[in-house]
Structure 1
């Protein structure tokens, strides 16, 4: 039982911190003894290039029943700073039943192409039709909810000057409706830091599905039933290339206001990721895929195993209460984590439903302590909710459910 307890804690620690520590050590080693790997600098890739040097780009926007937001996306896409003769904009409609397709068609005279799936079979199925129609050397994928700066397209495409790069992920910037970064913002920043490390050490393991780019040859074997961003990264590795995260290519998104919908989005995302991983489980063989196999197991499989080991740690800790004071203290710590998460959940609900004005706050020690406890509870809540979503995704996977159809998240 002691082995189960300590091994469970080790897996949880390794999934979130141990893997990062190892990557940092490898990164430091490579910086000391393989300095030539960093010869490609940000200035090299993002410097100005003549129009004739830029590759042809197909910018693919996937949409399903987006009549409320598609106009903003079209205007944002058309404002991107890229030579018109080198850019085609394609909207992949997943057999939309509202006015989305009509709005997109009204932009035909400005070069926007509509590719409509004959049947509604999911995001990747609609993307497959767009990929087949695309003529670009580089395919860039974006969601309707993603807002891009004018130079975003040139920035993400400029990375392909390096022939070793097969796909590029943007970095995410999440804000709430008041423009503030929430507790999940810390989690997102952690993910962006991890992506930067992976990019320097070897290759990414996952990409942002709302804004990413890939070479056309990587997208030839398009799977219409697999999560496109993760599967494109795996296809890149199969082609002998790598994926990177570009900190200068930013996608801006609003947090989903409805927590239940956000939880459902997380479940759907993890379920789709599990499906891709297990369909490509041969890539976890270290004898064939070396460093990438270790990355894939550490970043994906270990992370998605955390809910199981959290449960084992809690149960085994309760059994070991008579084994020493350390087990009592660790059980109290675990329970405090979950109580803090519940407290934040219900406190946040009461704050959202309350219409009373808050009294002015003075900078006192009590208020400072309360803010610190709020931050700890916020992190505990998001940590718990993420792992509950992962656990529910595994339950759905073993039930035989697969997430192919999609409903755009209303933000």
Structure 2
């Protein structure tokens, strides 16, 4: 029991802190700078949408306001079987160069992206969600990374803002993820891209699959072709936290479920003799992180069995219990959940419960394809 307890605690902390620390120490000796240069390749900007009549005008206005030569920018809205006024609204922008791609039979986000890739004219493809707002100069800054011949794909930095205009619990977690991505890109390559705003060379996107997470798969395709992925802190995707926490939980489950699907269909990347450092990153950032719910359960149960044997074990058990009670208090009382002492534990537990649910669905053979955008 003591071995189980401390092994589970160690692996939990290593997944979130030990792995970043190892990258930081490695960055002291190994640093792969991106050789940027201001270039203007032809771009196809792909927006996937499903029943977005409330937000599509704002997204198109934001996209058309981007500072990039219009003759080099193709804007495609891939409407995934929308049944509201989304298609009608998008057609209003045809004179301004916006192309509507109607995917009549709804097949999911990745399927819509695959259809858009087939008609894309740009050498660099940019993918974005309707809910994500982008700063005017972001495309120029993003394209500068592709001047480096080692770069296959580029991710934005996510920033999540609460209803009050301040960073929310998810925002703190996202900032942690952005910090980790910065370390990964500094020493080698990212392991995943921001699904709401990323770019890739067209060659990387030729085999999109409807049942596989496009951002994760795009990164793996880049590595397979001898390129790497980086994040650019000057390229920001800004979006609000969700209005419906239940639907956001479902989104997290869906994201992990698709990630598991991609992971287990690409186990070749665990071979360090072929992919070197990336194999370690692939294991730690993905599989080890996804195993944290198992470690948390193991640590709690082993600690419960040992609690009566010593004051040390009892204190540790009470500390674990208090953490879960704080998260539970934030869940039961939304007002408490918005306060810093509650919102970070609550978000941490919510994420890991979502991971656990995703594992159960994956092991049952569920491979989710459909997607409904979260209300924000």
Same fold (TM over 0.5): yes
Return closer, same or farther for 1:214/1:350 CA change in 2, 3 Å cut-off.
Answer: closer
Tell me the TM-score normalised to structure 2 length. Answer: 0.97
Residues in 2 aligned to 1:158 and 1:258: alpha-carbon distance in whole angstroms: 37
Tell me, yes or no, if the aligned pair for 2:160 and 2:238 is still in contact at 8 Å: yes
- In the aligned structure 1, how far is the partner of 2:337 from the partner of 2:266? 45
1:95 and 1:202 map into 2 onto residues whose CA distance is: 39
Q: Distance in 1 between matches of 2:310 and 2:337?
A: 41
| Alignment counterpart, residue 341 of structure 2, candidates 376, 387, 393 | 376
- How does the TM-score come out when normalised to structure 1? 0.89
Closer/same/farther in 2, CA of residues 406 and 351 from structure 1, 3 Å limit:
closer
Counterpart of 1:369 in structure 2 is none
Q: 1:349 to 1:259 in 2, by over 3 A?
A: farther
Q: Deviations over 1:170-204 (max 9, x none)?
A: 00111111101112221111111000000001000
Distance 1:245 1:323 in 2: 48
Per the TM alignment, residue 397 of structure 1 is displaced from its structure 2 partner at its CA by: 0.9
User: How many angstroms apart in 1 are the aligned matches of 2:33 and 2:271?
Assistant: 28
The answer to whether the aligner puts 1:175 opposite 2:161 as a matched pair is: yes
RMSD: 1.5
Mapping for residues 14-163 of structure 1, pairs under 5 Å: 14-30=14-30, 37-38=32-33, 40=35, 44-45=36-37, 49=38, 53-163=39-149
- Deviates further, 149-158 or 235-244: 149-158
Q: State whether structure 2 residue 208 is matched by structure 1 residue 222.
A: yes
Structure 1 distance, partners of 2:314, 2:350, is 25
In the other structure, the counterpart of 1:165 is: 151
What is residue 240 of structure 2 aligned with on the other side?
254
Residue 282 of structure 2 corresponds to 296
C-alpha distance 323-223 of structure 1, shift in aligned 2 (>3 A): same
Cα distance in 2 for residues equivalent to 1:282 and 1:338: 37
Aligned length: 376
State the match for 2:10 in structure 1.
10
Separation in structure 2 between the aligned mates of residue 65 and residue 347 of structure 1, nearest angstrom? 32
Equivalent residue number for residue 311 of structure 1: 297
1:239 aligns with 2:225: yes
SS in 1 for 2:28: helix
* Cα distance in 1, alignment partners of residues 98 and 330 from structure 2: 46
Measured after TM superposition, the shift of residue 349 of structure 1 is 5.2
Say whether residues 1:267 and 2:232 are aligned partners.
no
1:344 Cα deviation from its structure 2 partner? 1.9
CA separation in 2, counterparts of 1:94 and 1:201?
A: 38
Check conservation: 2:330, 2:337, Cα contact below 8 A.
Answer: no
Instruction: Say which one has the larger Rg.
Output: 1
What is the Cα deviation at residue 236 of structure 1? 0.6
